[in-house]
Homo-oligomer: A and B are copies of this chain.
Amino acid sequence: MAPRKQQEIFDATLWMVAEKGYDGLTVEGVAERSGVNKTTIYRWWPSKAALLGAALVESDVLGFETPDTGSFRGDLVALVEQIVRLLTEPPGSDIAVTALAAAVRHPELDARRFFADRFARERVIFERAARRGELSASADPLLIVDLLAGAVWIRAVFRGLPLPEGYAEKAVSVLLDGL
């Protein structure tokens, strides 16, 4: 399939999830919106869960740029700010929050792939910090990413609380400087 057509199918999938929720997402609806035959979509992705899982990783909409600010602290703050935007700024946040919550009950949706793909790019922050001597050899990058991303998820999604000015700096400071 042409990459541009594929991107249109992914866009239609993510738009439909943001609008109608996971239960409202249908391959028929995606086919209609993207002008692609339903059977063509099924040939590439065997279920709506598989389609949404692929769209999450491959669409430009939730694109992730590895921050490169020149310091470990700056990179982590920029990382948290990206996660805050991902989980609080529509329409991206409607897509991300709905799809990730749905993945809990629909393993075919494969949120693991989304997280693994992101982590492959987040990891670069830690490799650079280690080369600059800003990170001890015993530091666990996956744990650090999970602490920061998890705090944003709990506060923004589960508690429904706003993320105050300076939140990213404060969260990163707890990790870098200790309590």
Contact = CB atoms under 8 A, between A and B. Distances in A.
Interface of A: 21-23, 97-98, 100-105, 107, 111-112, 115-116, 135-136, 139-140, 142-144, 146-155, 157-160, 170-171, 174-179
A160 B112 CA distance: 7
A171 B142 CA distance: 11
B23 A179 contact: no
Number of copies: 2
A149 to B, nearest CB: 6
Q: Which of A21, A146, A149 has the most CB of B within 10 A?
A: A146
A23 B159 CA distance: 22
Q: Is the interface of A mostly helix, strand, loop or mixed?
A: helix
A101 B170 CA distance: 27
Query: Which are the 8 A-B pairs with shortest beta-carbon distances?
Result: A150-B150, A178-B178, A101-B104, A146-B151, A146-B154, A147-B151, A150-B154, A150-B151
A123 B23 CA distance: 37
A154 B177 CA distance: 23
Contacts of A151: 143, 146-147, 150-151
B98 A159 contact: no
Contact of A159 (B105, B112, B148, B171): B112
Given A103-B158, A115-B154, 10 more contacts: A112-B158, A143-B170, A143-B174, A144-B179, A146-B150, A146-B159, A147-B147, A153-B154, A175-B175, A176-B179
A105 B21 contact: yes
A52 to B, nearest CB: 14
A116 B111 CA distance: 27
Q: Which of A23, A112, A143, A147 has the most CB of B within 10 A?
A: A147
